Every structure is written in C-alpha cells, then in structure tokens.
Structure 1
C-alpha cells in the first residue's frame, strides 16, 4: 500500500477576513494548496503562507480559481478555454514570485471550487489548464478528483488528456465531503454533503487511505484510489481531526 499524502486548502484569508488557522494546521500536512488571489488570499497572505509552508517542509500547490472573490470561487463563470489558460498562468505567476523570493517553488496545481468541478465536465477547460501547467514548467503535476463508481479506472478520461499534454496527474480524495454513487462529490446544496462529525471524517479518510470501501451518500459502497487526501482545516474541530488523522496515517 502506497502512503497517501494529506493536503489542505490554505492561504484563504483576505485583508481583515481570517479563514482557518494555517499556523496550527501546516505542521500536520504534506501539501498546502495556496490561494492565488482570485477567490481568496492577498499579497501579504500569499507571502506568509509560502514562508509557513517552507518552514515546515510542506509541498506548495497553487490553488487557482475563477476571478470570484465575492463568491469564494464557487460560482461557475462563463470563461472560454483561452481565458482559463491565461487566468491560471496569471495566478501561477503571482504565487511563483513569492516562492522564488523564499527560495522554493510551486510543486503542483490544484484548481479551486467551480473551476475544479468544471474541469471534470468539459474537455476544453481541462485541456486549457493542462496547457497552462505544461507552459509554466515541464512536469508540473495537476491535482484532480479521484473518480470511483463502477468503472475500473474512473480517471481514464483525465489520464488520457493529461498524458497527451505531458502533465502528471495527482488523484485527490476528500475526507470530509460526501460522495455520490458514481464517485463524484455530492453538491454542497444537498443535506449531508459536508461531513461534520469527527468520527465520520476519520472513518472515511482511513478507508480511502487503506483502499477499502466506504459509504456514498445513498449508502452504496464506494472505493477510491487516491494519491492525496484533502481535509479542510478551517475550525478548531477540523484541527483536532487533522491531528488524529495525521497520527493514524503515520501508523499505517
């Protein structure tokens, strides 16, 4: 069994608005997905986040989104593929400036929110982001949702397009989000789409890490193959879950 990595969305404060407790969560994770200013984050937050990740030896991922501060990047915008490629490159460049100044680099790209979900539905947008990754740096990986359901390789589509673009693919699963039976994330509008109970989050996370089935939203069994596991660390309860999960993953 390959060791699964642990990642968090971070750097999502903005001005006087504070989101999460990155200083406490950062030592517990392997990968930090840092906001690039389009859905959250500002220059000072980006700089601080890069330095915090470097201090704890955490891999830095760019977390680009649609330009949607008001909607926290969760609204679907009618951007063309050409626009998406440019906006991703723009955000990579912003985060890259702080990485270079800190003597580190962007290690992967994980799109945020509505953009993340749109890539799973539209080939043209996925190809645009893959082009942005390839143009930014050869071999820069893209992190996308690990697919499950009845298919033997739920990520066959994403793998095919990524291989054509020469971009490595990282598959991500979520510990604190409910899934539909087809392996897609349950939309946030549905009751129970976000797990709140610590034991439920830990149970699902450990099942994914061990390659074991867990219950989808309708109760049907679902199994995922993932390289990285996302846990949102934006409140005290989440931090407690992260601490327990870190200890249990290290013991596998």
Structure 2
C-alpha cells in the first residue's frame, strides 16, 4: 500500500524518513525551501526533493501536506513551531493526519498506531514531519526505528514470509566469518541453492523490503553479525560512507549488492 515517503528535507525527523525510503528502495520526494535550505546547509542532491520558489519553510510544509495522502508527525510533548503548523494545516484542508507523541507511548506501540493509520486511510504517499535535530537530538533514530518497524508490520500482513521460507537453507554455523562485504557476498553465493539465487535475481527492486525482512535473520546469522562480527560491520560502514551504520543497515547493503551481483551473473539469463 505504501508507495512513497515524502518530507521537507530538514535535519531530524524529515531526514530519517528520506533515509528509510532510500534504504528500502521506496520512492521518496517532497518539497524543500529555495536553495535546498536546512539548518545545516543545502540538502545533499542524493535526496530527490523539489525546490520551492520561496525560502519560507511554511510554504513547503503546506505543499507536502497537499501532495500526500496523509501526514504523520513524530515528536515528544506539545507540538510547537513547524510541527504545530503541520497539524493545523492538515486539519484545515481535511487531509488525514496523526500525531505520535513519544512521551506517551513506546516506539513499537506508535509503530502499530502508524501502521493502522496507513491502512485505514489507504495511504500510498506518506508525509513525515517532526522536529529538527537541533531541537530533539534523538529524533532521527526514533523516526528511523518507527518507520522500519511499520514496514515490517506491513510486510507481515502479506504473509510472503511463509512462502519464501522454502528458499532459505538452514546451513551450518561458520567460525571463519567474512571480514569484508565482498567476502560476505561470495559466502551467500556459495551457500544458497540455484532456485534461491534465481528468485533473488528476478525479485522486483521496488519490493526489496519484503526480501530484506525475509532474509534478515538468515544473513545476520550466516555472516556472523549475531557473533559480533565487528570487522565486517566496519568494512560495510566504510563502503557505505556511513559512520552510523548498524547491523540492519549493513544487511540491507549486502543484500542489495548481492542482488546486483546475481543480476549480472548467468542466472538471470539462463532462466529467461
């Protein structure tokens, strides 16, 4: 159901939403003030946002509400500033909106609420808003955790995890875990049967979140992340140029590069 995530590109909640979309190959976008203005300078060009003709933050806030099917605001305590404007304008124009207050509910609880909000309002384009990083230093990780949990909950509703289990071998535990991303990809190539590699190679990139949630525990186990394989995590962090890279982020990057490797290999050509 969820096809696109948009935000205003500001640090904090906005940026977390865009990074989750990019991580899971979900279409992203939104409007940003003229000059791609944020509190830490121009927004990097990897974020595919449209630039407004004005530098007024309020105008891009309104446009993102208009261009989405619903807006979620994630914050702590009473809404102020841009977050308060977001709620007021969404209500004024009659667009579905919900405020998730992290002072009154735990992250997983608000994830369930957000998932229900998306389902009940049939939201395909979700606008994510909340405080900037300087106002709430922990909001980036809060929003990232919540949105990833929502995607998992939406995935579970498809029940594809049961269908895909037959493609994942149990496999013995290895003690010589890979220390580089390329070694991890080679390990997966050696371990997985042909039908699994064919399936992964042909899987639609836009639905990679379904593949990720199916293979997450398997890859974690096979490459030694469950055994604190810090060498591989460090190598993934360097290759991703992300010093905040965690195990789940590394698994997704390994999966994406593994899929790209399979697409270039003989497997896809052989089955066509």
TM-score by length of 2: 0.28
TM-score by length of 1: 0.29
Name the larger-Rg structure.
2
Higher strand share: 1
Higher helix share: 2
